[in-house]
């Protein structure tokens, strides 16, 4: 904390805050699409931390040019790892989006609470038991009331 | 140089908070595009031009494209008029 | 209630991360692997861009795994989105999404920018071992170029899916074949062949430009197929 | 940094903050998309200025790719908003 207001201090603060914001959104948000956006933020913060771990003060980019034979270079290994991780991240994003399409088509909603109550009712109907949280046979009116209560 | 870094990090964090707390979904996607914009500049500042170019290509082009397709197919494309915004409609 | 417990958990995580960060040597990173690579890359691989020699030379097997992960993601997206078409034939089949062209500005802007995107993408792929860039970035640019044509004009333009998969398979097979040829010469998998050439010229670094060309074509074809699978409606063509 | 470069960075930073204000508090969605387009231009200019500061040509490629692809992304987002005019009367989808 003695040298917080340096370039590295500010960048580490930003990277950790970005990860934390993404994790908070992933835990708190109710909408599936917003959860996907939070996942993207979380990935970006983790990538930034990885790249910063190879950052050297007064270093140059790890590419040989004509005039920079003797200069200190940044670490190329974290950059190569992050290069791969970003491309995989977009594959994960597209896969999650296609799964969200299927969920929207099947349940007709994007809200996690609605999806959960419908899912529990489906499972109870398949198993032939009463749905959890009610003492009687499944009635839609009861379910809507219980959902509003939460 | 340190003030440039401070301004870019501030923009990044403000846009990241806007992704979580803006009521409208199209606005959230646009804010996430701004997050990847500031990430590109940060990667260029820490002298990682390869990573900066990857983030530019994917964050600015491909991710916006994928999320725009998602917005269109999930039914979030309804633009809000001024009075709807003032009434506080929230996609959540 | 969920919000407060999440806040509590996250504040603990923030404290932990801040303590870890406070112990890090900021700005004076000890690089053990990095220094060895930076010293030896110029003679062993011969590429001016050290990141390229890490991605394709020292960690070439990693890149192969990454390509297979991307292939798996693209095929699962195709599987998930195609299977729903069977359900849809039974239910109502109203055309939910618009098939119209975009406006004047979007159509003409994409027509103007399409050759520029192709040139930029090929430049980035072929100069991957000299300047920043390479197969992944150039492949993304190519995929965005081709899929924007379809997105802007969904009715008129269509891309042959068989051609896309042929390009993708060809690129993947050629990546593996270049790696296996090194095995027959008595070297390790994916070791650069063909000599180093003149340093920092276009024909240098052995087989690395060919490998990056294969990576670029494969990534471009996969991402274009993925975008088209996401964009097309579930009405079976 | 020379005096001119400091002045340039100051002006660009101020305009970026103005764009950020319009992004967060902009009343409608088209405001936000236009603000993001302006921020994309500002980011391209910042990348070019970084190439000047670091005295290296490598960052110009990043600026080129960023400028071209941000345009494409904004076109895609604009198409999402535009599709309202096509079939908003046909059906009202619940969200």
Phi-psi region of B47 (alpha: psi -120 to 50; beta: other; left: phi over 0): left
- Whether residue A20 lies within 8 A of chain B, CB to CB, comes out as no
The domains of chain B are located at: 7-76
How many CB atoms within 10 Å of residue C189? 13
pLDDT in tens, D22-77: 988 878 888 888 999 999 999 999 999 888 888 888 888 889 889 888 888 888 88
Q: Which tokens hold the place of A73? A: 């270079």
Q: Which residues of A touch D (CB under 8 A)?
A: 60-61, 63, 65, 108-110
CB of A99 closer than 8 Å to CB of C80:
yes
- Mean pLDDT score, B20-38: 88
Q: Give the rounded percent of residues in chain B with a pLDDT score beyond 90.
A: 23
Which of A18-27, A79-88, C82-91, D18-27 shows the lowest mean pLDDT across its residues?
C82-91
Residue D20, judged by CB atoms within 10 A of its CB (0-12, 13-18, 19+), counts as buried
What is the C-alpha separation between C1 and A29, in angstroms, rounded?
Answer: 13
Does some domain include residue C38?
no
- Whether residue B46 lies within 8 A of chain C, CB to CB, comes out as no
Nearest to C225 by CA among C162, C177, C173: C162
Does some domain include residue C111?
yes
Chain D CA closest to residue B53: D62
**pLDDT attached to residue B35:** 92
DSSP D11-65: HHHHHHHHHHHHHHH-SSHHHHHHHHHHHHHHHHHHHHHHHHHHT-SHHHHHHHH
C-alpha distances out from residue D29 to B81, D82, D89, Å: 9, 11, 20
The residue with greater pLDDT, C117 or A144, is C117
Using 70 as the pLDDT threshold, list the residues of chain C that sit under it. 83-102, 195, 200, 233-237
Alpha helices for C91-160 (secondary structure H): 104-126, 135-152
pLDDT in tens, C187-213: 777 777 776 777 767 777 778 888 888
- Whether residue B74 lies within 8 A of chain C, CB to CB, comes out as no
Average pLDDT, chain A: 81
Q: Which tokens hold the place of A148? A: 């509003």
Average pLDDT, chain C: 79
Q: How confident is the model at residue A137 (pLDDT cuts 50, 70, 90)?
A: low
DSSP C23-42: HS-TT----HHHHHHHHHHH
Residue C105, judged by CB atoms within 10 A of its CB (0-12, 13-18, 19+), counts as exposed
Chain B CA closest to residue C120: B57
Residue D83 clears pLDDT 70, i.e. is over it: no
The domains of chain D are located at: 3-85
Triad A95, A101, A107: Cα angle to 5°: 135
The DSSP call for residue A63 is B
CB of A68 closer than 8 Å to CB of B59:
no
User: 35-54 in A: which are within 8 Å (CB) of C?
Assistant: 53-54
Does some domain include residue C177?
yes
- Whether residue D56 lies within 8 A of chain A, CB to CB, comes out as yes
């Amino acid at each position: 904390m003695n040298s917080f207001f340096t370039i590295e201090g500010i960048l580490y603060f930003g990277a950790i805050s970005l990860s934390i914001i993404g994790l908070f959104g992933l835990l708190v948000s109710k909408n599936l699409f917003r959860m996907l956006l939070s996942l993207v933020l979380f990935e970006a913060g983790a990538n930034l931390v990885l790249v910063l771990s190879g950052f050297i003060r007064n270093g140059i980019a790890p590419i040989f040019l004509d005039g920079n034979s003797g200069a200190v270079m940044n670490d190329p290994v974290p950059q190569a790892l992050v290069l791969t991780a970003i491309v995989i991240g977009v594959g994960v994003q597209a896969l999650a989006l296609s799964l969200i399409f299927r969920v929207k088509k099947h349940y007709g909603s994007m809200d996690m609470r609605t999806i959960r109550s419908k899912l529990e009712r489906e499972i109870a109907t398949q198993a032939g038991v009463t749905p959890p949280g009610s003492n009687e046979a499944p009635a839609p009116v009861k379910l809507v009331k219980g959902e509003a209560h939460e | 140089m340190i003030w440039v870094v401070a301004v870019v990090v501030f923009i990044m964090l403000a846009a990241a908070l806007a992704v979580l707390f803006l009521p409208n979904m199209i606005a959230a996607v646009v804010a996430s595009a701004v997050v990847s914009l500031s990430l590109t500049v940060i990667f260029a500042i820490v002298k990682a031009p390869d990573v900066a170019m990857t983030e530019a290509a994917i964050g600015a082009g491909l991710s916006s494209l994928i999320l725009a397709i998602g917005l269109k197919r999930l039914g979030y494309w309804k633009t809000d008029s001024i009075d709807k915004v003032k009434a506080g409609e929230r996609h959540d | 209630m969920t919000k407060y417990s999440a806040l509590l958990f996250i504040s603990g995580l923030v404290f932990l991360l801040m303590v870890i960060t406070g112990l890090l040597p900021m700005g004076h990173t000890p690089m053990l692997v990095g220094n060895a690579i930076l010293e030896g890359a110029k003679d062993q691989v011969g590429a001016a861009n050290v990141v390229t020699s890490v991605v394709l030379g020292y960690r070439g097997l990693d890149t192969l795994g990454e390509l297979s992960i991307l292939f798996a993601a693209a095929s699962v997206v195709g599987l998930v989105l195609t299977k729903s078409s069977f359900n849809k034939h039974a239910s109502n089949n109203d055309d939910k999404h618009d098939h119209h062209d975009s406006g004047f500005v979007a159509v003409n802007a994409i027509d103007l920018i399409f050759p520029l995107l192709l040139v930029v993408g090929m430049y980035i792929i072929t100069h991957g071992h000299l300047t920043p860039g390479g197969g992944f970035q150039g492949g993304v640019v190519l995929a965005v170029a081709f899929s924007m044509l379809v997105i802007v004009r969904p009715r008129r333009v269509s891309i042959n899916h068989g051609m896309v998969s042929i390009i993708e398979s060809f690129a993947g097979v050629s990546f593996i074949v270049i790696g296996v040829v090194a095995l027959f010469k008595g070297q390790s998998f994916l070791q650069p062949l063909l000599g180093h050439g003149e340093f920092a010229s276009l024909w240098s670094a052995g087989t690395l430009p060919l490998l990056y060309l294969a990576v670029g074509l494969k990534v471009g074809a996969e991402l274009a197929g993925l975008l088209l699978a996401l964009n097309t409606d579930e009405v079976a063509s | 940094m020379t005096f001119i470069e400091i002045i340039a960075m100051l002006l660009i930073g101020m305009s970026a903050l103005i764009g950020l204000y319009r992004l967060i508090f902009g009343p409608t969605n088209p405001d936000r998309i236009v603000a993001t387009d302006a921020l994309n231009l500002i980011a391209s200019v910042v990348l070019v200025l970084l190439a000047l500061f670091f005295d290296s040509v490598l960052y110009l490629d990043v600026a080129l790719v960023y400028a071209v692809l941000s345009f494409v992304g904004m076109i895609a987002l604009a198409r999402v908003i535009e599709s309202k005019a096509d079939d908003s009367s046909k059906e009202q989808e619940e969200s």
